[in-house]
């Protein structure tokens, strides 16, 4: 059976994404992103489901540092609509609650509900972890904000559903696996993800990106981050629509090499239907 590693405790959004994308697979909870990467590298798991960015909170911290250095390859993507529930031990009520515990991002994404009901937010390390703690404390005055799956997992009662401030709240995950051949071009829309470092010359970034414009390649993501502790050493992480074997992207990547000192493709994978507004799982 395929086994999917994810970061977080059982019942977390990453757990939900793994189940949604691979309903027949087993799952492996990992304490950190590094542990999830290591589980696949060692063979303990076959795949890793890793969040990369969120429509409300932006990019997920640390992932941009881990992806360029891993030997794993991006083989897919998954979009998960984020839904948060307010939950407590059986018998707990919203009126009798004083505190609400969750991950800092979940608290921020449910700020309106928390303020409306006069609850005191308390930061926890993980959404599902906060649900587990609320169950262990057995205190009706302490509630958790977590995915609905966490309520089932830890025997909690859902007091309110879909309490997030923004209904468009969605997290994009990437699926990582040991290195393999890229899928063949022509089977549908593809996404190519890569990192590069520009040469230290004037207008290098402008020139490096020019080939994508002139070849009609749609760039859906461009983010920079510093490396090696140097303000001048900047890497760029990019997602583009297309396959490296297709002439437009092949020409654009060839032109990019003239103005970069490093170029590494992180993965070539089928575009998820949600990327284009679809509703596939």
Tokens 């429509």 sit on residue = 55
Pairwise CA distance, residues 228 & 264, whole Å: 17
Tokens 């020019």 sit on residue = 210
Pairwise CA distance, residues 150 & 146, whole Å: 6
Tokens linked to 48: 């890793």
Task: Give CA angle at 268 (267, 273), nearest 5°.
Answer: 115
Pairwise CA distance, residues 224 & 214, whole Å: 22
Pairwise CA distance, residues 111 & 230, whole Å: 36
> Is-catalytic flag, 173?
yes
Q: Which of the residues 22, 33, 113, 173 is marked catalytic? A: 173
> Is-catalytic flag, 171?
yes
Q: Which of the residues 171, 196, 259, 269 is marked catalytic? A: 171
Pairwise CA distance, residues 168 & 179, whole Å: 33
**Alpha-carbon torsion (193, 197, 201, 202), positive or negative:** positive
User: So which residues are the catalytic ones?
Assistant: 171, 173
């Amino acid at each position: 059976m395929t086994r999917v590693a994810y970061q977080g405790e059982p019942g977390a959004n990453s757990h939900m994404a793994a189940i949604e994308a691979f309903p027949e697979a087993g799952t492996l909870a990992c304490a950190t992103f590094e542990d999830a990467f290591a589980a696949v590298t060692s063979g303990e798991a076959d795949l890793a489901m890793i969040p990369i960015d969120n429509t409300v909170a932006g990019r997920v911290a640390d992932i941009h540092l881990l992806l360029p250095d891993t030997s794993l390859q991006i083989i897919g993507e998954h979009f998960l609509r984020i839904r948060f529930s307010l939950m407590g031990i059986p018998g707990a009520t919203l009126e009798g609650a004083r505190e609400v515990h969750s991950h800092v991002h979940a608290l921020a994404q449910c700020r309106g509900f928390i303020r409306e009901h006069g609850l005191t937010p308390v930061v926890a390390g993980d959404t599902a972890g906060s649900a587990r703690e609320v169950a262990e404390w057995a205190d009706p005055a302490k509630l958790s904000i977590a995915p609905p799956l966490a309520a089932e997992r830890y025997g909690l009662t859902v007091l309110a559903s879909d309490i997030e401030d923004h209904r468009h709240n969605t997290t994009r995950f990437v699926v990582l696996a040991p290195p393999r051949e890229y899928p063949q071009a022509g089977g549908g829309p593809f996404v190519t993800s890569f990192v590069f470092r520009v040469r230290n010359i004037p207008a290098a970034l402008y020139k490096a990106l020019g080939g994508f414009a002139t070849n009609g390649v749609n760039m859906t993501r461009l983010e920079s981050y510093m490396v090696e502790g140097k303000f001048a050493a900047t890497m760029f992480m990019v997602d583009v629509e297309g396959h490296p074997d297709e002439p437009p992207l092949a020409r654009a990547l060839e032109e990019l090499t003239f103005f970069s000192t490093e170029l590494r493709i992180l993965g070539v994978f089928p575009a998820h239907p949600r990327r284009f507004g679809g509703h596939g799982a």
